[in-house]
Protein backbone atom coordinates (compact mmCIF):
# COMPACT_ATOMS: atom_id res chain seq x y z
CA UNK A 1 0.00 0.00 0.00
CA UNK A 2 1.50 3.39 -0.92
CA UNK A 3 2.68 5.60 1.92
CA UNK A 4 0.23 8.34 0.89
CA UNK A 5 -2.70 6.18 2.03
CA UNK A 6 -1.57 6.30 5.67
CA UNK A 7 -2.06 9.09 8.16
CA UNK A 8 0.77 11.03 9.76
CA UNK A 9 3.82 8.94 10.65
CA UNK A 10 4.17 8.43 14.44
CA UNK A 11 7.57 10.13 14.51
CA UNK A 12 5.73 13.41 15.21
CA UNK A 13 5.31 12.13 18.79
CA UNK A 14 9.06 12.35 19.44
CA UNK A 15 10.25 15.88 20.22
CA UNK A 16 13.58 15.09 21.85
CA UNK A 17 16.52 12.95 20.84
CA UNK A 18 16.39 9.64 22.75
CA UNK A 19 20.21 9.50 22.73
CA UNK A 20 21.23 12.97 24.03
CA UNK A 21 17.93 14.63 24.97
CA UNK A 22 18.33 17.57 22.56
CA UNK A 23 15.26 19.35 21.24
CA UNK A 24 17.05 19.74 17.88
CA UNK A 25 15.38 16.54 16.74
CA UNK A 26 13.92 17.10 13.28
CA UNK A 27 12.53 15.26 10.29
CA UNK A 28 15.19 13.45 8.30
CA UNK A 29 12.79 11.79 5.83
CA UNK A 30 9.32 10.17 5.98
CA UNK A 31 10.43 7.36 8.27
CA UNK A 32 13.19 8.91 10.36
CA UNK A 33 14.21 11.87 12.51
CA UNK A 34 17.76 13.13 13.00
CA UNK A 35 19.29 14.95 15.94
CA UNK A 36 20.95 18.25 15.06
CA UNK A 37 23.15 17.97 18.16
CA UNK A 38 24.57 14.45 18.18
CA UNK A 39 23.63 13.18 14.69
CA UNK A 40 21.56 10.22 15.96
CA UNK A 41 18.97 8.98 13.43
CA UNK A 42 15.81 7.31 14.73
CA UNK A 43 13.79 5.02 12.48
CA UNK A 44 10.35 4.13 13.79
CA UNK A 45 9.55 0.75 12.24
CA UNK A 46 6.59 -1.53 12.93
CA UNK A 47 6.67 -4.00 15.80
CA UNK A 48 6.23 -7.66 14.88
CA UNK A 49 3.02 -9.26 16.11
CA UNK A 50 1.59 -12.70 15.40
CA UNK A 51 -1.91 -14.00 14.72
CA UNK A 52 -2.89 -17.68 14.97
CA UNK A 53 -5.50 -19.12 12.64
CA UNK A 54 -6.51 -22.42 14.25
CA UNK A 55 -9.17 -24.56 12.60
CA UNK A 56 -10.40 -27.83 14.14
CA UNK A 57 -11.62 -31.04 12.47
CA UNK A 58 -15.21 -29.70 12.51
CA UNK A 59 -14.13 -26.77 10.30
CA UNK A 60 -14.49 -24.29 13.17
CA UNK A 61 -12.19 -21.34 13.85
CA UNK A 62 -10.84 -20.72 17.34
CA UNK A 63 -11.74 -17.17 18.41
CA UNK A 64 -11.06 -15.23 21.58
CA UNK A 65 -13.02 -12.51 23.32
CA UNK A 66 -10.70 -9.65 24.31
CA UNK A 67 -10.47 -9.05 28.07
CA UNK A 68 -8.56 -5.75 27.78
CA UNK A 69 -8.38 -2.60 25.71
CA UNK A 70 -7.98 -1.94 22.91
CA UNK A 71 -11.24 -3.38 21.60
CA UNK A 72 -12.21 -4.99 24.92
CA UNK A 73 -15.18 -7.34 24.57
CA UNK A 74 -14.79 -7.88 20.82
CA UNK A 75 -13.66 -11.00 19.03
CA UNK A 76 -10.01 -11.60 18.21
CA UNK A 77 -7.71 -14.40 17.13
CA UNK A 78 -5.01 -15.72 19.48
CA UNK A 79 -1.68 -13.97 19.14
CA UNK A 80 0.36 -11.02 20.26
CA UNK A 81 3.71 -9.26 20.15
CA UNK A 82 6.90 -11.21 19.55
CA UNK A 83 9.56 -11.00 22.25
CA UNK A 84 13.16 -10.00 21.68
CA UNK A 85 15.35 -12.87 20.42
CA UNK A 86 12.26 -14.89 19.41
CA UNK A 87 11.25 -15.90 15.88
CA UNK A 88 7.72 -15.13 14.71
CA UNK A 89 6.99 -18.88 14.77
CA UNK A 90 8.19 -19.15 18.38
CA UNK A 91 6.14 -16.08 19.23
CA UNK A 92 2.88 -17.37 17.79
CA UNK A 93 3.34 -20.75 19.51
CA UNK A 94 4.07 -19.02 22.85
CA UNK A 95 1.09 -16.67 22.51
CA UNK A 96 -1.26 -19.57 21.67
CA UNK A 97 -0.04 -21.47 24.76
CA UNK A 98 -0.35 -18.37 26.99
CA UNK A 99 -3.83 -17.40 25.78
CA UNK A 100 -5.44 -20.79 25.16
CA UNK A 101 -3.44 -23.55 26.87
CA UNK A 102 -3.04 -25.32 23.51
CA UNK A 103 0.28 -26.61 22.19
CA UNK A 104 1.03 -25.71 18.57
CA UNK A 105 2.29 -28.65 16.51
CA UNK A 106 2.65 -27.08 13.03
CA UNK A 107 2.98 -23.49 11.83
CA UNK A 108 2.53 -22.21 8.26
CA UNK A 109 2.91 -18.56 7.30
CA UNK A 110 -0.11 -17.10 5.48
CA UNK A 111 0.27 -13.31 5.02
CA UNK A 112 0.91 -10.03 6.84
CA UNK A 113 -1.08 -6.84 7.43
CA UNK A 114 -0.08 -3.49 8.93
CA UNK A 115 -1.99 -2.38 12.03
CA UNK A 116 -2.17 0.33 14.65
CA UNK A 117 -2.45 -0.81 18.25
CA UNK A 118 -2.99 1.79 20.97
CA UNK A 119 -1.41 0.85 24.28
CA UNK A 120 -1.11 3.17 27.29
CA UNK A 121 -2.25 6.03 25.10
CA UNK A 122 0.53 5.47 22.55
CA UNK A 123 -0.19 4.31 19.02
CA UNK A 124 2.09 1.38 18.19
CA UNK A 125 2.47 0.50 14.53
CA UNK A 126 2.61 -3.26 14.11
CA UNK A 127 3.17 -5.75 11.32
CA UNK A 128 0.72 -8.56 12.05
CA UNK A 129 1.97 -11.90 10.73
CA UNK A 130 -0.83 -14.42 10.19
CA UNK A 131 -0.04 -18.12 10.62
CA UNK A 132 -2.13 -21.22 10.05
CA UNK A 133 -1.46 -23.29 13.17
CA UNK A 134 -2.25 -26.90 13.92
CA UNK A 135 -2.63 -27.45 17.63
CA UNK A 136 -3.60 -30.21 19.98
CA UNK A 137 -7.26 -29.33 20.33
CA UNK A 138 -7.60 -30.23 23.99
CA UNK A 139 -9.26 -28.25 26.75
CA UNK A 140 -9.27 -24.50 26.18
CA UNK A 141 -8.04 -22.33 29.03
CA UNK A 142 -8.56 -18.59 28.46
CA UNK A 143 -5.73 -16.63 30.07
CA UNK A 144 -3.53 -13.56 29.68
CA UNK A 145 -5.63 -10.94 27.84
CA UNK A 146 -8.36 -13.39 26.76
CA UNK A 147 -11.72 -13.43 28.55
CA UNK A 148 -13.30 -16.31 26.65
CA UNK A 149 -12.43 -18.84 23.92
CA UNK A 150 -14.82 -20.59 21.59
CA UNK A 151 -14.98 -22.45 18.32
CA UNK A 152 -17.16 -20.83 15.65
CA UNK A 153 -18.12 -22.60 12.42
CA UNK A 154 -16.16 -20.97 9.60
CA UNK A 155 -19.31 -20.30 7.59
CA UNK A 156 -20.66 -18.21 10.52
CA UNK A 157 -17.57 -15.99 10.95
CA UNK A 158 -18.41 -12.28 10.56
CA UNK A 159 -15.42 -9.96 10.14
CA UNK A 160 -17.29 -6.99 11.65
CA UNK A 161 -17.40 -8.76 15.05
CA UNK A 162 -13.61 -8.52 15.34
CA UNK A 163 -12.43 -5.35 17.08
CA UNK A 164 -8.94 -4.84 15.67
CA UNK A 165 -8.64 -3.47 12.13
CA UNK A 166 -5.97 -5.91 10.95
CA UNK A 167 -7.89 -8.92 12.30
CA UNK A 168 -11.06 -7.80 10.47
CA UNK A 169 -9.06 -7.42 7.25
CA UNK A 170 -7.37 -10.75 7.92
CA UNK A 171 -10.71 -12.51 8.38
CA UNK A 172 -11.92 -11.03 5.09
CA UNK A 173 -8.76 -12.24 3.37
CA UNK A 174 -9.05 -15.67 4.97
CA UNK A 175 -12.60 -15.98 3.69
CA UNK A 176 -11.29 -15.75 0.15
CA UNK A 177 -7.99 -17.65 0.36
CA UNK A 178 -9.05 -20.44 2.76
CA UNK A 179 -12.59 -20.76 1.43
CA UNK A 180 -14.17 -19.46 4.66
Q: Does any domain span residue 4?
A: no
| 60 and 133 together in one domain | yes
Number of folded domains that form the chain: 2
Q: Is residue 3 part of a domain?
A: no
pLDDT in tens, 26-38: 999 888 999 999 9
Are residue 72 and residue 150 in the same domain, yes or no? yes
Q: Using an 8 Å Cβ cutoff, are 88 and 102 in contact?
A: no
Task: Dump pLDDT digits (tens) for 16-68.
Answer: 999 999 999 999 988 899 999 999 999 988 999 999 999 999 999 999 999 99
Q: Rounded to an integer, what distance in angstroms lies between the CA atom of residue 47 and that of residue 5?
A: 20
| Domain range enclosing 28 | 9-43
- Give SS3 for 112: strand
pTM given for the model: 0.87
Q: Answer yes or no: is 2 within a domain.
A: no
- The answer to whether the CB of 142 falls within 8 A of the CB of 63 is no
33 and 102: one domain? no
**Residue ranges in the chain whose pLDDT is less than 70:** 1-8, 178-180
The count of C-alpha atoms lying within 13 angstroms of the C-alpha of 115, restricted to the half-sphere facing its C-beta, is 26
Same domain, 140 and 58: yes
Return the pLDDT at 10.
76
Amino acid sequence: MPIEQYTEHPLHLFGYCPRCGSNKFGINDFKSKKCGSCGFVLYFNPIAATVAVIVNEKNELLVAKRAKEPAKGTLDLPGGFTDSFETAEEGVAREVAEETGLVVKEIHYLFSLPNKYTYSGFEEHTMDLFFLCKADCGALTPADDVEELRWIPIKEIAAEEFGLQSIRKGIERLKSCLKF
